[in-house]
Structure 1
Amino acid sequence: MSFNLKTGKELLKYYNKELNYLENLRHKFTIKSYLQILIIAIQIGVFGIIISNLLLSSYFFSNFVNSPLLIVLLIMIIIFGFVIFDSLVFNLKVLAEKIWTRPILYQRFEIEREEDTSKTIESVMNK
């Protein structure tokens, strides 16, 4: 049961590499989450503008019933509103999945790291 300095340094390198990988992964998740929140905030703002335009155009629509340009504008606002709302719901769903699965992801990496460590230690002990 001897433990030489060379294998100890290799184990230390392995741990440092693994730790750096996990830190980089955590950093990437954080940046992606902030970008996702920013996109959601912009989409909520755009959706609010679309709803206010829809209300204004419906007010004008009641006054100018015979305007074909207003009808086309109203249809375009409704379609654009549905597209933005659908994208907003999708982004909220993706963000919620990231928030809920982050601890599971760390737990999985921790289990893999423990298994790799035990295999590495066994191989060192067998040499």
Structure 2
Amino acid sequence: MKYPILAAALLFAAAPATAFAMAVDDDERELYDSSIQCMTFYGLMAGLGSEDGAENPDLAKSGTKFLAVATVLADEDEALLKADFDKQMNKFALLTANPDDPDNIRQIKDIVEGCKSLETVIDAMLESGS
């Protein structure tokens, strides 16, 4: 599944016009990493409510948006996607291992806020493209 227009729009929005040609790799990596992190987060949250995530389909829908962005940016490299997904799963396992740690709570809150902000940008771009 490829969404070249979405990927191009996301990359263009993430990079200043004057630095686009020079910084696209860095911008793409940051967007990719954020997308993998958000995909993992929303996937985990969707799965917490029930076995199939049906109790909150909006979480699964959000995770799917980020999966689409990550897939485009990774050029459908399934091995890369799986490896990076596994890294994020391990990160979340470490963050939730000690739920009372204030630093872990802060990191999770930062992830939640970052994912919400990025999803707002993606939604706006999807709306403007349709």
TM-score range, shorter chain: 0.3 to 0.5
* Greater helix proportion: 1
State TM-score, norm by structure 1: 0.37
Higher Rg: 1
